[in-house]
Amino acid sequence: MGAGGIASDRWRRRAARLLALIRDGRARSELFTRLRFGAQVHQDISLSFHDRYPRLFAAARALLADRPAPRILSYGCAAGEEVTSLRSYFPDATLVGAEINPGLLRACRRLPADANRVFIASRHDLIAAHGPYDAIFAMAVFTRRPEEVRERDLRDISSHYPFALFARDLRQLALTLAPGGLLIVEHAQYRVEDALAGLPFSAVRGPGEWLAKGPRFAPDGIRIEPQPVIARIFRRTD
Ligand SMILES: C[S@@+](CC[C@H](N)C(=O)[O-])C[C@H]1O[C@@H](n2cnc3c(N)ncnc32)[C@H](O)[C@@H]1O
């Protein structure tokens, strides 16, 4: 595509976003969250749907078979789709959903009641107070507008989504796991093991390991070529 084509494509995308903002309460809540929380927001698009990760949910269930009533955190739970999905895999679990977008958090709290489930604002003190967790799902959170990265064919995302933001929050989160607990991460733009260096974690081999669904970047922000096979499930080993 020539320079003119790229520019008009960008304008088309902007116009589409503006229309979505006018029409769609969810898009307005994403904008509000971005303005209010700035760099604390990882992925600011809140797309989610029921049973989005059946392979990973089932793998985690098998790995947690010795914990009949696990405590599970869904970090970045959008309007609760992931938490209600997890309920069907873990009927006896205590489920905690953490979300930074206040409008979505209100939507979560309007879901039909479940006595063993709570939704909280995404603050580290609150997340830690509801732990320690046997499993943490951080799905499609540690990424920033991947479709924009694809469209702009970014080879360096260090200014779009700095590794330091990813590593800081992922490390904090990982340390709220109980010993032996699982960290499950899908659709991150960086590799989990790069962020967890020096912490007592190891990748689970086999389940959760396959080709990354989009580009992955090294800690300096440079794209890893070719797109690697990645681990998605990590266990706390201390
Ligand atoms: C693409 S949605 C993913 C929803 C669900 N986990 C899934 O995979 O279907 C990303 C969600 O992460 C939330 N989010 C972004 N930064 C966050 C943060 N720092 N703490 C908690 N949630 C965050 C967004 O508000 C959004 O609802």
In tens digits, the chain (238 residues) has pLDDT values of 566 666 677 788 778 777 777 778 899 999 999 999 999 999 999 999 999 999 999 999 999 999 999 999 999 999 999 999 999 999 999 999 999 999 999 999 999 999 999 999 999 999 999 999 999 999 999 999 999 999 999 999 999 999 999 999 999 999 999 999 999 999 999 999 999 999 999 999 999 999 999 999 999 999 999 999 999 999 999 9
Q: Which of 73, 85, 100, 125 to mutate to test the pocket of ligand 1 (most atoms within 8 A of CB)?
A: 100
Using a 6 Å CB cutoff, which residues line ligand 1? 33, 40-43, 45-48, 52, 75-78, 81-82, 98-101, 104, 122, 139-141
Please state, as a whole number, how many other Cβ atoms lie within 10 Å of the Cβ of residue 210.
11
Centre of ligand 1 to C-alpha 2, Å, is 34
| pLDDT at 2 (0 to 100) | 64
| pLDDT at 15 (0 to 100) | 81
Q: Which of 37, 43, 106 to mutate to test the pocket of ligand 1 (most atoms within 8 A of CB)?
A: 43
| pLDDT at 8 (0 to 100) | 76
Centre of ligand 1 to C-alpha 42, Å, is 7
Domains and CATH numbers, the chain: 1-38 (no CATH), 41-236 (3.40.50.150)
Predicted structure pTM score: 0.93
